[in-house]
Amino acid sequence: MLCSLADNLFWLGRYLKRADHMIRLFEVNLEIMTNSNYHLTEYRWWLMLTSLGIVPQPNKSSTREDEIFKLYLFDEKNYQSALYCIAQARMNARQLRSIISSEIFERINELFLAVKSATPQEDQDSRWHDFFKKTKSQLNLIQGSTQEVMLRDDGWAFLQLGKYLEHLGSVASLLNVFFSDYQDQVGSQVKPSDYIEWVGLLKSVSAFESYLKVHTNNLKPELIVDLLVFSQVFPQSIRYSVDKIFSALKKIKECSKQPMQDQEIHEALHGLEVVSKSGGEEFIHSNRGVYFNEIQRKCIHLNNLIYKTYIEFPNSYFVN
Amino acid sequence: MTRASLSLINDTPSILHRYSFGDNFDEMFDHHANPRELFLGVYQLLNSLTKQQLNIRQKASDLSFLNQGITFTVYHNSESSEHIFPYDLIPRLIDAQQWRILEAGLIQRTLALNLFLHDIYHEAHILRDKVIPVELVYTCKHFRREMIGINVPNKQYITLAGIDIIRDHHGKWFVLEDNLRVPSGASYVLSNREASQRAFPSLFNQYGIRSVNHYPQLLLNALKELAPHGKQDPMIVLLSPGAYNSAYYEHSFLGAQMGVPIVEGRDLIVHDNHVFLRTTQGLQPVDVIYRRLDDDFLDPLIFQSDSLLGVPGLFNAFQAGNVALANVPGTGVADDKAIYSFVPAIIRYYLQQEPLIDNVTTYLPENPEHLDFIKENIDQLVIKPVGGAGGYGLLIGSQASDTEKQVCLEQVIKNPRNYIAQPIIRLSTSPCYIDSRLVSRHVDLRPFVVFGKKPTVLPGGLTRVALKEGSLVVNSSQGGGSKDTWVLTG
């Protein structure tokens, strides 16, 4: 695997997941805010943007919905927008045509063209709904195509590594912001007035229906944490992402003559493993913020370690 | 010659109604506006289709091109924009007998040019025998002194040639120019075929049409032949300037279809005169490079020193025989437009044969008599820069203003080696479906010659279309499009 292609695959995975996460967050937030009882619109947008790692600039963006949509969904030049992520995914995919199938490229290209040309009108709320639905469907199609046709080699591992590292950081950030705002709810059933927020959290990571299936409509913070953080079988959980990252690194190591050292992997992921052994109730009473911050820090560290080992080819290395 | 128009012979309001092509040579109709026998099947189908039916087919093709990312980039000032490569639905047909002549002519030309390249970089017999003026070769921008005395694998300088051929208003074929450096367009041949198969499946059943789908395999096999030391399973890569290059779609398509890595300069490293790929598994040796970079950008240590696209040390590795390059650096001297005028002489010199396809008459301003002719007849001439490509920098006398002609002549007089002049040839026309109308547009043809063990011509090639009414410029960067070319079996 060419180093540059490994880089392309890693970022293809990251950008697609980032775009997916953003689209879902926007959809859920819009849904919550169109609820007639909702009065905290500006605060809600602030929370969402913060969870995405975006610090809203007072002179550049306002909390007006249409401004936010324009800037963070459709501004191709704004590196924090969904369209930028999709454009970057497409650019990476263009360079990967010898690795990914033409079907996958075409799906990514179609997604880019659709989002770039999307102009939902302010006065037609239903068009937003259609836009999000269609975009999510296209993103799912891309994930499905890659799942079906890509070889399970080190290229696949780099794609998965990017995808799950991105997801890990995104979910950790989302939960961090959410829990810092809802400390009072811990340990009891969620208040009816906050019900919509908790449902929103679950829907942000496509977890609401899975939650109902496992716990019925009995929303409790510790059970929600169980699903979103510790579940080994729910693909959007932190635990699941960590497991996938481990598997991807193992596969890359098998294929490489310059493998990342075991110790380095363990160091990079240490902490995630420890916490993943505890349960929701124990976790909910612990210092959650520190844990989520640590995950985000580990994600950055791991990203740098992957770059150092596999992407930025060590100049000192030569064949004897 | 009468002005032909189908409105005279066709009373039904079909798509062919009012199709006219003036006194040009039309590929589909004779001068009495009767469909040529070869085209009867296409003619009958078009007669049976409504505009709506054709529009559906055209839209489906356009959408397919768009979704597949079959695009090219046009640079204007500092801005660049991505465009779909315009595809016209109506195929161009060439019968088997005519193709056999063209094929033989193209092979003959490629063989002769390859011998010419070997000769001028070694003994230079052709220059000593004064068949070509010495100064014409040595002043050519693409002549590479670094190549003198270097022995290339199988004495093969040309692995891929794109030779542009045209038909004049009598239907006679000519070679317009040779492209031997990094000829592009083959990917569009394959995409066009896929589109026409979808648009007109019934015609494929009706006609015996020679396949073009094996092109990537043909090219891959030719590249394998170049492997140093006869290596059996060589590592072949396609070297591209990168995703921002205007032809990147073609690079990625061909790389993917051949199953070889598409690399950029940063992916390669030269150590001890060997070329390696930077991979996650360490350094992997490279044997053959299908390069899609001009010579200037290949190696900053030898050629353009500020190039960031190439690989430092690549030329030394090539010179040492450890890596093969296709095409070989320095082939550009043979597609110089001034050298072009000597290709018939080159064919006679090396092959002792008469050229099977004629050249277009060419005037070299360095010759005082030719320069006088050019000055007196610029209205009937096309002036071209010798190293130009993409249709940039040419002047068509009949369409230029007095000022433009004056400025052009001044440049020609100032630097005569840099220009040639040719009579304006009214290229043949072909029916094209544009804006829901069937209209005639001028076309040329770029067939591709792949030179492995022996030269092979891909049946057909890229028919390029000047989409603007009356225009003779077919280049995609100048508003040109393309259509599928069907070479019939028989």
Count of domains for chain B: 2
Neighbours of A317 (CB within 10 A): 12
Cα(B35)–Cα(B302) distance, integer angstroms: 56
Pick the more confident residue, A145 or A59. A145
Taking only the tens place, the pLDDT of each residue in B92-133 is: 999 999 999 999 999 999 999 999 999 999 999 999 999 999
Answer yes or no: do B367 and B347 share one domain: no
Query: Judging by beta carbons within 10 Å of its beta carbon (0-12, 13-18, 19+), is residue B302 exposed, middle or buried?
Result: buried
Taking only the tens place, the pLDDT of each residue in B20-47 is: 898 899 999 998 889 999 999 999 999 8
Quick one: how far is CA A68 from the chain centroid? Answer: 20
User: Which pLDDT value is given to residue A319?
Assistant: 44
Query: Judging by beta carbons within 10 Å of its beta carbon (0-12, 13-18, 19+), is residue A58 exposed, middle or buried?
Result: exposed
* Contact between chains at B271 and A318 (C-beta distance less than 8 A): yes
> Chain B: nearest CA to A286, how far in angstroms?
40
Domain boundary among B423, B455, B473: B423
Answer yes or no: do B247 and B308 share one domain: yes
Answer yes or no: do B261 and B404 share one domain: no
Answer yes or no: do B188 and B272 share one domain: yes
B contact set with A (CB within 8 A):
66-69, 243, 248, 252-253, 255-256, 259-264, 266-267, 269, 271, 276-283, 285
**Interface probe with A: pick from B251, B272, B279, B311, most Cβ of A within 10 Å:** B279
Cα(A123)–Cα(A141) distance, integer angstroms: 29
Q: Is a pLDDT exceeding 90 seen at residue B287?
A: yes
Answer yes or no: do B374 and B324 share one domain: no
Token couple for A186: 């811990």
Domain boundary among B351, B382, B400: B351
CB-based contacts of B475, cutoff 8 Å, min separation 6 = B390, B391, B464
Pick the more confident residue, A67 or B23. B23
3-state secondary structure of B4: strand
Query: Judging by beta carbons within 10 Å of its beta carbon (0-12, 13-18, 19+), is residue B388 exposed, middle or buried?
Result: middle
Contacts of A260 in chain B (CB under 8 A): none
Contacts of B239 in chain A (CB under 8 A): none
β-partners of residue B163 are B178
> Does residue B420 contact residue B386 with C-beta atoms inside 8 Å?
yes
- Residue B405 belongs to domain with CATH number: 3.30.1490.270
Residue B31 is which amino acid? H
Task: Give the total residue count for chain A.
Answer: 320
User: Which pLDDT value is given to residue A211?
Assistant: 94
Number of Cα atoms under 13 Å in the Cβ half of residue B102 = 26
Answer yes or no: do B282 and B412 share one domain: no
Of A95, A110, A319, the CB nearest to B276: A319
* Residue at B409 is within a domain: yes
Q: Is a pLDDT exceeding 60 seen at residue B6?
A: no
Cα B358 to Cα A62, A111, A183, B101, B114: the distances in Å are 69, 49, 86, 12, 18
State which residue of chain A sits closest to B281, comparing Cα positions: A256
Taking only the tens place, the pLDDT of each residue in B404-414 is: 999 999 999 99
Contacts of A98 in chain B (CB under 8 A): 252, 255-256, 259-262
- C-alpha angle with apex A247: A245 to A250, nearest 5 degrees? 110
Of B255, B264, B283, the CB nearest to A98: B255
Cα B55 to Cα A113, B10, B52, B98: the distances in Å are 21, 21, 5, 32
Looking at this predicted complex, what is its ipTM? 0.80
Taking only the tens place, the pLDDT of each residue in A192-246 is: 878 888 899 999 999 999 999 998 888 888 889 889 998 989 999 999 999 999 8
Answer yes or no: do B366 and B265 share one domain: no
User: Which pLDDT value is given to residue A51?
Assistant: 87
User: Which pLDDT value is given to residue A191?
Assistant: 81
> Does residue B237 contact residue B286 with C-beta atoms inside 8 Å?
yes
Taking only the tens place, the pLDDT of each residue in B373-426 is: 999 999 999 999 887 666 677 888 888 899 999 999 999 999 998 899 999 999
Answer yes or no: do B164 and B232 share one domain: yes
Answer yes or no: do B226 and B337 share one domain: yes
* Residue at B292 is within a domain: yes
* Contact between chains at B260 and A98 (C-beta distance less than 8 A): yes
* Residue at B41 is within a domain: no
Contacts of A6 in chain B (CB under 8 A): 280
Answer yes or no: do B299 and B399 share one domain: no
Q: pLDDT class for A263, splitting at 50, 70, 90?
A: low
* Residue at B454 is within a domain: no
* Residue at B46 is within a domain: no
Token couple for A179: 């829990």
Give, as one character, the DSSP assignment of residue A229. Answer: I
Domain boundary among B423, B438, B455: B423
Answer yes or no: do B249 and B396 share one domain: no
* Residue at B110 is within a domain: yes
What domain range includes position B381?
362-423
Answer yes or no: do B129 and B276 share one domain: yes
Cα(B384)–Cα(B363) distance, integer angstroms: 10
